Amino acid sequence: MSFFQQIREHTRGSERYFLIAIGSVLVASYLSTLSPLIIQFTIDQLLAGQPLEQHHWLSRLLTQGMTSLTTNQGLFLMGLALTLVMAGRGVFDFYKGRHAALAAETTVERIRDKLYTHLQHLFFAELGDAKSGEWIQRCSSDVETVRKFLANQMTEVIRAISLFGFTLWMMLQIDWRMTILSTFLIPPIFGFAFFFFKKVQKLFLDMDETEGALSALLQENLTGVRVIRAFGREATEAAKFDEKSQEYRDKTMKLVRAIAVYWGSSDFLAMMQRTLVILVGTVWAVQGRVSLGTVVAFFTYINMILWPIRQMGRILTDLSKCKVSLGRIEELLALPTENFDDHEPMKTILGRVELKNLTFAYPGEEPILEDLNLIIEKGETIGIVGPTGAGKSTLAHLIAGLIPVGADQVLIEVKTLEVFQRNRSESRLGS
């Protein structure tokens, strides 16, 4: 299953919130592109008295409204129009943020519940071998990474694309020569952003796996702190933790350096693009090839068009983080679980336990228990002794039903005086 299929699967049920957020982003992005047009109209037609070609509906509307107004009244009208446009953008930005947050929180709530339920149904052998610290990190840190992406960057992807498209369209309507000039360095910035995405994805995976190992070591040491202190192993464990901590620091610094190189380089290219627009646009304005309002409008538009392109690097960074985190979550959800009914009526155990020809071996190993027959009567207390690895804990787990066994090998007397069989032959250990 691809990353976007995984996102779609987990967001099922929150589509309404995402659709409202996406619609709000599109409207807010379009409204953002209207303010430079109002500024151009104010400078060229209202102040300089230069008639403009009315290609856009807003220009035609403003021209009709200016028919019988004085300059001061016209300036007031332009200010009112600019205020209304920005106020509308603010309203739709609010709806975008609100519904994106609702979509993210409801989605992550389902992911948390799914993870917890899945962990409750894992095979006991899987739980015994687990590094619970790493699993906690997947259920907390990785889930939080997914939440941040859904709440912030998922709608920002739509915002960046729509703002770029709307801005480019508006620029082409004003002057195609200035449009070419204003987008001259856009392809290198785009290419650098995607190159950065490829590199940072592996760096984040290395950092995330190291963080998981660090969390696992911390959890193990905190759980066994009494044993560590009893055997005087504080210095040894501290050295192990310091080694993992340094490894995590080094991998984090690699990621930080990569991000610093990207932002520094993209800042340089963005400033070069702005400088190109100002220098050439000023020369063209002096020569009369373009109006002053056009130069001002294009400088505003170039800032708009550069923002989503540079933001694409941040979006791709968070996308790579989310992709890694969601992959780690899916790995956990892919672990096999036992098939049993949580709603099965509870039975009261009377006490008699019988083992019949019980043979058990862990996968890929020799049998640890072989042809074992044992009867434990109700109220009877027995002792099981033997060296380490003889199967004492395994036997206790088999009787408790924590490890699946074949049919009729572990029998427990229940209240109905019937024999309750612990039979989960479909389990991985029994195959």
> What does the pLDDT look like over 38-74, one tens digit per residue?
888 788 776 666 665 656 666 677 766 666 767 777 7
Of the chain, the percentage scoring pLDDT greater than 90 comes to 6
Distance CA 202, CA 190 (A): 20
Q: What is the mean pLDDT of residues 161-182?
A: 85
123 versus 112: the higher-pLDDT residue is 112
Confidence band for 21, pLDDT divided at 50, 70 and 90: very high
Q: Cβ(298)–Cβ(281) under 8 Å?
A: yes
Q: Is the pLDDT of residue 412 over 80?
A: no
Confidence band for 126, pLDDT divided at 50, 70 and 90: low
Tens digit of pLDDT for each residue in 294-322?
A: 888 888 888 888 777 777 767 777 787 78
3-333: which CATH architecture?
Up-down Bundle (1.20)
Q: Cβ(200)–Cβ(292) under 8 Å?
A: no
Q: Is the pLDDT of residue 27 over 90?
A: yes
242-245 LR contacts (CB < 8 Å, sep 24+): 244/210, 244/213, 244/214, 244/217, 245/214
> Could you tell me the pTM of the whole model?
0.67
Token look-up 């899945």 returns 118
Q: Is the pLDDT of residue 144 over 80?
A: yes
Confidence band for 94, pLDDT divided at 50, 70 and 90: very high
Q: Is the pLDDT of residue 349 over 60?
A: yes
Tokens coding 229: 């202190």
Residue 78 phi, psi dihedral angles, 5° rounding: -65, -40
Task: Report the chain's mean pLDDT, rounded to a whole number.
Answer: 79
**Domain regions of the chain by residue span:** 3-333, 349-421
Just give the CATH number of 349-421: 3.40.50.300
